[in-house]
Amino acid sequence: MIPSRFLSVSELVAQLPHIYPIMTPNGTQMVPFPQGELNDSFRLDFLKNVVIPALNHLDNGEWGLMTKTDQGNKIPCDILMWHSTREIVDVLTGTGATWIPLALPPPEWIWTAVSDPIPIPIPNPIPNPIPEPDPIMTKLLVIESILNMLIAREFPNYATSFPQIDGFPISTGTIVLKPVK
């Protein structure tokens, strides 16, 4: 039975900059792998150059890539193979680490050694989307503006040195403060 190295893979993924945004039901989440066309090649480079060498340091060189010789020597970007037993494990999702042991592969799918690690170029980050304004901060800014107006009206000599919110009109009249919900 192969050792579970989920924690090791998770630690390696956690060291990557989480710079790629994806939309989830809970909002935007930043992940370590680009989405779309670059995802598979980036994960394969990370698997070859970081994950496998790190795990082989722990497990005497047993980990390698899985090559599908019956499919034009295709190498999956998320699968590790244990040399002595040919057991395979899915270790990377499109957004991070996982550890899912899979059934033994067909004999045409072979273990492939990995050479020494080389540095991985990290692609330029995709610009972060503009975040939604924080509703609490927005309410605090409104309260600050109202306080600035009150101080300016009640203490005109002091108000000239008191910081004002740019663009907020100072007017006279009645101001009613309502509870913040």
Q: To the nearest whole percent, how much of the chain has pLDDT over 70?
A: 65
pLDDT tens per residue across span 120-164:
444 444 454 545 566 676 676 667 666 666 666 776 665 444 444
Alpha helices, DSSP H, located in the chain: 6-14, 38-46, 52-58, 135-154, 156-159
> pTM for the full model?
0.61
**Phi, psi of 65, rounded to the nearest 5 degrees:** -80, 160
Position 162 scores a pLDDT of: 42
Q: What pLDDT does 122 receive?
A: 41
Ranges of the chain whose pLDDT falls below 70: 116-135, 137-138, 140-142, 144-152, 155-181
How many alpha carbons lie under 13 Å from residue 55 in its C-beta half-sphere?
30
User: Which residues are CB-neighbours of 8 under 8 A, at least 6 positions away?
Assistant: 54, 55, 58
Where do the domains of the chain lie?
Answer: 6-112, 133-181
Q: What is the pLDDT of residue 100?
A: 94
